[in-house]
Amino acid sequence: MSEITRYFRDFGIILLGRLMAQAKSLYSVHPGVLMTQKWVSTLKDKTGRSLEEWLAVVKESGPKKETEQRDWLKREFNLGTNSAWWIAERAAGKGTETDDPAVYLKAAEEYVDKMYSGPKAALRPMYEKLLALGLSMGKDAKACPCETMVPLYRRHVFAQIKPTTQTRIDMGFALGALKAEGRLLETGGFAKKDRITHRIPISSATDIDNEVKRWLRVAYEGDAE
């Protein structure tokens, strides 16, 4: 078998594995994964060092604490905030789940399991019902879990599911300057330029009603362009 044939065979196996991982999951790859991959691939051109080279610099000469490393990288090497943050994070052995789609999808499942474990385990059925409702808004609706919440995306985040307390999930919506009505509450997010501007508290399955579905639809349709 030639080197070229072997390369395409191995590449095909890796690609198939990633597609199968995503096909088995309710979740989609977070946009931040693609951003991170692009950052890694262009880091040497932009800064003169690859990620591995920056990690070696931090290990050899940098401060011990992650927060101090960020400031040190910005001060001593004039790195931007994002680059300094990501390099320090990886130097601490964190953040690698955003380097690879398959790794992220595995981490996404673990994020959700951890969110709805222990005292919050009883919220899991409500979460699953809200997730199904959010994904039903359209074929381009997707869920990309983070460690403390599950954002729902179309072009941008249009909603989020967050277990706020041991007895309540907040269903958040990106509704801009819309005046709250009914059970819909303002979060103060619009003034702070956050995506999520409104929420409806969910404490039981009966709270997931037509009003929740209505605002999900409004938020989803509002993110069409």
Q: Where are the domains of the chain?
A: 31-98, 120-222
- pLDDT over threshold 60, residue 148: yes
Per the model's pLDDT, the better-predicted residue between 81 and 23 turns out to be 81
Tell me the mean pLDDT in the region 42-68. Answer: 94
DSSP string, 125-176: HHHHHHHHHHHTT-TT-EE---SS-EEEESSSEEEEEEE-SSS-EEEEE--T
Residue 8: the pLDDT is 43
pTM of the model: 0.73
Q: How confident is the model at residue 31 (pLDDT cuts 50, 70, 90)?
A: confident
Round the average pLDDT of the chain to a whole number and report it.
Answer: 89
Residue 15: the pLDDT is 45
Are the beta carbons of 95 and 40 closer than 8 angstroms? no
- pLDDT over threshold 60, residue 33: yes
Residue 38: the pLDDT is 86
- pLDDT over threshold 90, residue 7: no
% of the chain beyond a pLDDT of 70: 88
Residue 2: the pLDDT is 54
Residue 160: the pLDDT is 98
- pLDDT over threshold 50, residue 11: no
Instruction: Name the helix (H) or strand (E) containing 199.
Output: strand 198-202
DSSP string, 75-104: HHH---HHHHHHHHHHHTT--GGGS-HHHH
- CA 131, CA 138: separation in Å to the nearest integer? 13
Are the beta carbons of 220 and 154 closer than 8 angstroms? yes
Instruction: Name the helix (H) or strand (E) containing 69.
Output: helix 66-77
- pLDDT over threshold 90, residue 217: yes
- pLDDT over threshold 80, residue 205: yes
Residue 93: the pLDDT is 87
Tell me the mean pLDDT in the region 139-161. Answer: 96
pLDDT by residue (tens digit) across 87-143?
A: 999 999 887 777 788 888 999 999 999 999 999 999 999 999 999 999 999 999 999
- pLDDT over threshold 70, residue 151: yes
- CA 183, CA 73: separation in Å to the nearest integer? 47
- pLDDT over threshold 50, residue 37: yes
Residue 1: the pLDDT is 53
